[in-house]
Amino acid sequence: MPESYKKDVIRVDYRTGKKILFSSVRNNKPDDFYHISGDNWESDISKCPFEYGKEALNKTIKLVGGDEHSWKLKVIENKFPMLSPEFDFIPLEGLLEEKPAFGYCEVIFETPIHNLRFSQLGKEEYLRWLDTIIERENELYSRDRIKYVYVFKNEGPRSGASLSHTHSQIISFEEVPETIKDEQKKISEFIDSNHACLYEQILNYEKERVLVENNTFIAFAPFGSKMSSESLIMPKRHVNYVGLLSSEEKSDFVDILSKIIKTNEALFGKISYNILFHEVKDDETFIFMLRYAPEL
């Protein structure tokens, strides 16, 4: 097998022109879930590489609230990244187009407590998590070649997570993903045709599907939901980037996010779900939103 096939690479589908990310490194990532039956699961703490005393297994980027033995939040380099700033092979051109998957991958641990679910965290911990995301996004955007930063969270074995210790991930790309470009095109077309903001119209039309709202944020079940019980959380003020939220907006945002997660767990039990940040830092026609997608 050629050496390039063993790296994180981006290949272009010659039928469609779409770019596809291949990462063999992630095949080796650890898994501590066991006794999985639907959304009932247990985990083996001895297999978790993020507990106190296992600091040598990871490269720490940031600690909040203490040192390596007493932190409240921790950011590390992803040991099994889908993107990397380092590569040692020559890109392919022509029909079989391939290039290195350049970027950075980080993991945020919101709590040192292994069996504590994200839904069980308090407001202070949610705000610490959000402030850290904003800080890390700003730092990553300052790096050469980085054009897009994506934040997401997989909770539970059916969400795609391989480790039960609650955590979020930040991935930074040298190109804006094609799904975001498609949405930017849709926004531009809507503005040209209607001379109005797409997202303001969305909030007007989605009023009957509102789940909860407060002074600065609103959550609703979108008309075009991709799955049952999906929720979108949007600011009432047009903000395209999470780093532009005011202190009041950040507080209201985590209040609604916590309520959405806890309400779904009250209805459906301990479920797996995905949290996906949706934003574009340098496009003011875009709007920041968070997608909550439970696996029911």
Over residues 177-228, the pLDDT tens digits come to: 999 999 999 999 999 999 999 999 999 999 999 999 999 999 999 998 888 8
Residue corresponding to tokens 């949706």: 278
Query: Which residues have CB under 8 Å from 235's CB, separation 6+?
Result: 216, 217, 218, 245, 249, 253, 287, 288, 289
d(C-alpha 159, C-alpha 275), whole Å = 10
Domains and CATH numbers, the chain: 3-175 (3.30.428.10), 192-295 (3.30.428.10)
Question: Is 195 among the catalytic positions?
Answer: no
Over residues 60-79, the pLDDT tens digits come to: 999 998 888 889 999 999 98
The bridge status of strand 272-278 relative to strand 289-295 is: antiparallel
Catalogue the E-assigned strands of the chain: 9-12, 19-22, 33-37, 40-43, 60-64, 73-77, 98-100, 103-109, 148-155, 167-173, 210-213, 217-220, 231-235, 272-278, 289-295
For residue 20, name the pLDDT band (cuts at 50, 70, 90).
confident
The tokens describing 32, both together, are 């501590």
User: What DSSP designation does 91 have?
Assistant: P
Residue 95 φ then ψ, to 5° = -65, -45
Global confidence as pTM: 0.90
3-state secondary structure of 289: strand
Q: Which amino acid is at 181?
A: K
Q: Helix and strand tally (H, E) in the chain?
A: 4, 15
Paired residues of 98 in beta bridges: 11, 92
At residue 86, does pLDDT exceed 50?
A: yes
The tokens describing 207, both together, are 């009023």
Which of 167, 195, 238, 278 is the catalytic position?
167
